[in-house]
């Protein structure tokens, strides 16, 4: 059995590795070769923690396993990350435990890869301005994964606490792009591609602010009750997601669905665009939205790549069970 620590994951997984792993598993989901098992998420009544499992099987990528973990709000006081997770991979031929892989860094990388895949397949080729809503832990991963996918000339951003935007300004400086802190209305009216990655529970982007042809990756809403954009904006868009069942229940689409503005049949899995079964964007004026809810198969895909690369590079610890 392999043990692949958080530090080794950082060493072996590149943004390109994560992009390819997530794109491949979205494609496998569409082809019926990969499926997610029902998610378990429980308030355990101890340490205010939310704990659960996301699991699945990808027959094409041969990833079988689960991500176990959750949210411990008191961790910051202990100098730890509030979100904690570990990925368990099993040998699909024998059921034996194959690898234990640190899941914190990989969660950020696989979430960023999902919005990057959506930008690669759905944003206009001539997109020039990238807008960021949110400046928390995930935001820099999101920005770095997106920045090279088009010839972006400028980054504009908004955050609830504007002083936190310095983390995004530092990434922009690192890649040599101008950076501007703007209000949300200006962001909507200027950006060609937007990533939202917040814990908001109300719309931060209104339909009338968004210009035609924009692509928006809504990445923050992964729980019932969370919300980042105006349901009317969802209604006016061509809507894509990682998994429809999650999009309508815990994703950004939940509000437009509840209001009767969109129906489940209006939503296309992004895998259908990757495989060529759906054309994706069909005009320069169309607003496209990717509702990235986060599925267990993404975690398994990047963990499988991390385990393979760590073993190949003699960086994994090996334990006989
Ligand atoms: P974080 O706590 O580090 O940052 C939270 C961000 O949300 C900050 O920018 C904060 O200013 C902003 N925010 C919080 N409340 C807000 C409000 N009411 N209005 C506007 N902005 C608000 O969190 P993070 O790790 O960066 O994660 C961001 C979100 O992404 C979380 O909600 C998390 O659950 C979600 N997430 C989604 C996936 C996925 O696969 N879709 C994966 C990981 C995390």
Can you tell me the distance from the alpha carbon of 148 to that of 26, in angstroms, rounded to the nearest whole number?
21
**Residue 285, Cβ neighbours under 10 Å: how many?**
11
- The protein residue with its alpha carbon nearest to ligand 1, atom 36, reads 220
Cα atoms in the 13 Å half-sphere on the side-chain side of 5? 6
**Can you give the pLDDT of all 321 residues of the chain as single tens digits?**
999 999 999 999 999 999 999 999 999 999 999 999 999 999 999 999 999 999 999 999 999 999 999 999 999 999 998 999 999 999 999 999 999 999 999 999 999 999 999 999 999 999 999 999 999 999 999 999 999 899 999 999 999 999 999 999 999 999 999 999 999 999 999 999 999 999 999 999 999 999 999 999 999 999 999 999 999 999 999 999 999 999 999 999 999 999 999 999 999 999 999 999 999 999 999 999 999 999 999 999 999 999 999 999 999 999 998
Can you tell me the distance from the alpha carbon of 264 to that of 251, in angstroms, rounded to the nearest whole number?
12
Tokens of 307: 């385990």
End-to-end CA distance of the chain: 7
Backbone angles phi, psi at 188, to 5 degrees: -65, -35
Q: Report CA(137)–ligand 1 centroid distance (Å).
A: 8
45 to each of 51, 68, 96, 226, how far by Cα in Å? 10, 17, 32, 22
Reduced to 3 states, what is the DSSP secondary structure of residue 41?
A: strand
Q: Report CA(55)–ligand 1 centroid distance (Å).
A: 22
CA 64, distance to chain mean position in Å, is 20
Tell me the best of 111, 136, 295 to mutate to test the pocket of ligand 1, counting ligand atoms within 8 Å of each CB and taking the most.
Answer: 136
Residue numbers annotated as active site = 67
Can you tell me the distance from the alpha carbon of 43 to that of 41, in angstroms, rounded to the nearest whole number?
7
Tell me the best of 72, 104, 134, 205 to mutate to test the pocket of ligand 1, counting ligand atoms within 8 Å of each CB and taking the most.
Answer: 134
- The protein residue with its alpha carbon nearest to ligand 1, atom 1, reads 136
Cα atoms in the 13 Å half-sphere on the side-chain side of 307? 28
Tokens of 204: 């931060």
Beta bridge partners of 35: 57
Tell me the best of 131, 198, 206, 252 to mutate to test the pocket of ligand 1, counting ligand atoms within 8 Å of each CB and taking the most.
Answer: 198
Q: Give the 3-state DSSP-derived string for 101-120, with helices as H, strands as E and coil as C.
A: EECHHHHHHHHHHHHHHHHH
pLDDT at residue 321, rounded to an integer: 84
Domains and CATH numbers, the chain: 2-107+297-318 (3.30.1780.10), 116-293 (3.40.50.720)
- The protein residue with its alpha carbon nearest to ligand 1, atom 4, reads 136
- The protein residue with its alpha carbon nearest to ligand 1, atom 19, reads 200
């Amino acid at each position: 059995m392999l043990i692949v620590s958080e530090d080794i994951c950082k060493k072996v997984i590149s943004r390109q590795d994560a992009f390819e792993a997530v794109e491949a598993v979205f494609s496998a989901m569409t082809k019926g070769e990969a499926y997610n098992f029902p998610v378990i998420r429980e308030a355990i009544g101890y340490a205010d923690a939310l704990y659960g499992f996301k699991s699945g099987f990808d027959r094409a990528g041969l990833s079988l396993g689960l991500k176990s973990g959750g949210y411990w709000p008191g961790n910051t006081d202990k100098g730890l990350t509030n979100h904690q997770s570990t990925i368990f991979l099993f040998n699909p031929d024998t059921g034996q435990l194959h690898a234990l892989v640190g899941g914190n860094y990989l969660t950020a990388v696989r979430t960023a890869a999902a919005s990057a895949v959506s930008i690669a397949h759905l944003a206009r080729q001539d997109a020039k301005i990238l807008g960021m809503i949110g400046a928390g832990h995930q935001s820099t991963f999101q920005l770095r994964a997106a920045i090279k996918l088009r010839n972006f000339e400028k980054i504009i951003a908004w955050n609830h606490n504007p002083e936190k935007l310095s983390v995004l300004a530092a990434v922009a400086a690192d890649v040599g792009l101008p950076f501007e802190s703007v209000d949300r209305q200006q962001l909507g009216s200027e950006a060609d591609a937007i990533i939202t990655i917040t814990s908001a529970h109300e719309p931060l982007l209104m339909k009338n602010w968004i210009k035609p042809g924009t692509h928006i990756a809504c990445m923050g809403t992964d729980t019932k009750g969370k919300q980042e954009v105006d349901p009317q904006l969802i209604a006016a868009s061509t809507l894509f997601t990682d998994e429809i069942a999650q999009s309508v229940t815990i994703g950004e689409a939940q509000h437009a669905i509840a209001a009767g503005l969109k129906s489940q049949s209006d939503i296309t899995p992004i895998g259908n665009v990757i495989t060529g079964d759906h054309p994706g964007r069909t005009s320069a004026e169309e607003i496209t939205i990717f509702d990235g809810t986060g599925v267990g198969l993404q975690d398994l895909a990047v963990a499988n790549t991390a385990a393979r690369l760590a073993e190949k590079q003699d960086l994994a610890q090996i334990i006989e069970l």
